[in-house]
Structure formats: structure tokens, C-alpha cells
Amino acid sequence: MVLRVLSLNVWHDSGPWERRRELIRGEIEQLAPDLIGFQEVLQGDGVDLAGELVEGLGYETEFVHASPFWGRPDVSFGNAIATRHPIVSHDTLTLPDAGDGETRAAVSVTVAAPVGPVSFTSTHLNWKLHHGEVRERQVVALADYVRDRRPRGGFPPILVGDFNADADSTEIRYLCGLQSLGGRSVYFADAWRIAGGDEGGDTWSNRNDYARPWLEPERRLDYVFAGEPIRPSGIGQILSCRLMGDEPTADVWPSDHFGVVADLRTDPLPPPDEAPA
């Protein structure tokens, strides 16, 4: 038994939304993730993209407003969570910004999973290539927030999202314990680094017809992070990680980003003297 986590930037309702929506729903039905973090979600004025994506599939949802959607002031642009397990608490965080009108946020829930309470957070950081300094402040705030929301002694906290930062950036290195910021350091396990494939795991790819027109370099922007596994049981250990939505169907891609799927251990490891020879 595992806890399956999915993170996906859904590209709001751009492109052939109705067809894309059905592709994403099909992936969700096939993967059956326990927890989903969506980014670039729209909600308001009769719009509920997260609800459309999981309608009838047995999920509860929570949403956070990050900013008004462009040209549609009655519609919020933000992040959402969908969970197959009951939500026992939820919270939101407004992230630091550059004062230029781009505002970002995170939504977090604690769910009552079979393995016990699990804290899960979905976020989306500033997108501009030169906003590394802003993202650095955002990840420092996020790391503190996620660690504070972990149930005492519970499952390692999980943080997912579109971080708009390459794996070698200062922002991501900080989260992975490879770089300090302001004399501080933290550690979260990057699911792809630990259990991904031999390839780089790029989630922004010029193979994707919806990403290619932006003329940006291919890179890994979307992540699943988890706190350190519980020792010696191994609960929360990242067992596998792979991409989702990285192939088109009839020339339609699910989104302009590829998603990330990770499985985390929920059954304890056998004691050393019971391990198989």
C-alpha cells in the first residue's frame, strides 16, 4: 500500500479546454492519486476548474485565491487540492512578492488518511525567469509554513507545485538541503531526484505544442517534495516518481506542463532481524 501524490499545472482554461479536461480526468481515473495539487486553477463566476476535473471521482477540494484572472475580475486564479481522504483542517498562505502586481499563494490541508493525519500543500511560485530572488523568499516562507503544519509525530509533510525554477536553481537547492539562504537551511526530499528515471524529468518541454511557443528552455519546473521519512519504519519514504501527461492524444496535450506522480511508503519496513536474506 502507498500514498500516491500528483501535482499538475492545468494551464487554466486555455487551448481546447473541454478536450484537455477529459484527458486530465482520464489520467486521474487511471492513476487514482490519494492527493492532488493543482496549479493555475480558476474559480468564481460559475467557474470551478478543480471541481470539473474531479467531479464524480470521490474527491474533496480546497482552493486558494492568488490573484484575479486576467480580464475577468470575478474569477480567481490560484491553486487547489483534491483529496480522496477527509479534510480535517485547511489553511492558506500568501507568499512574498515583488510589489509588481504578481501575487502567489499556497493552500494546505490535513487529511485523515489510513496511515494517519497527512499534511499536504500545493503552491505556484513567481514565473519570470529573472525572479529568482522573489522565489528564494517564497521557498523560505513555504518551508517554514509546511513544517509548522505537520501533525506532531505524523506522516512527513508533502509540498507540491509549479515552482517555476530549475532543479539547479538556488530556490530548489535550498529546499533540498543543498544551499543555505540567509544563514538558514532545510531539507525536503525531491521525489524525482530520489526515485525518478534516468532522464532529467523535464516538465516544461518543447515537445509540448502548448509550451513550445514561449521559446523557453526545457527544464524541470514541477515538483513533489516530502519531509524526511520516519526512522526506522521508513513511513513516508519516496518509492517511485514519474511524469504524467507527457504524451498527446489526437494532437491534444493534457496541459502545457507535464505532471509529476510519486508514491510514498505507508507500510513500515520489517525490523532488521526480520528482513529477507
pLDDT, tens only, 11-28 = 999 999 999 999 999 999
Give domain status of residue 224, yes or no: yes
* Percentage of the chain lying above the pLDDT 90 cut: 92
* C-beta separation of 225 from 159 below 8 A: yes
Domain coverage including residue 200: 2-270
Domain total in the chain = 1
Give domain status of residue 233, yes or no: yes
Give domain status of residue 184, yes or no: yes
User: Residue with C-alpha cell 529546499?
Assistant: 175
- pTM of model > 0.85: yes
Give domain status of residue 277, yes or no: no
Q: What is the CATH number of the domain that holds 235?
A: 3.60.10.10
| C-alpha distance from residue 8 to each of 20, 73, 122, 156 (Å) | 13, 24, 10, 21
- Spatial CA neighbour of 124 closest among 157, 94, 158: 94
- As a whole number, mean pLDDT of residues 253-262 equals 98
Give domain status of residue 275, yes or no: no
* Percentage of the chain lying above the pLDDT 70 cut: 98
Q: What count of other Cβ atoms lies within 10 Å of the Cβ of residue 56?
A: 7
Give domain status of residue 156, yes or no: yes
The per-residue pLDDT for 220 is 97
- How do residues 144-190 score in pLDDT, each as one tens digit? 999 999 998 789 999 999 999 999 999 999 999 999 999 999 999 99
The per-residue pLDDT for 18 is 98
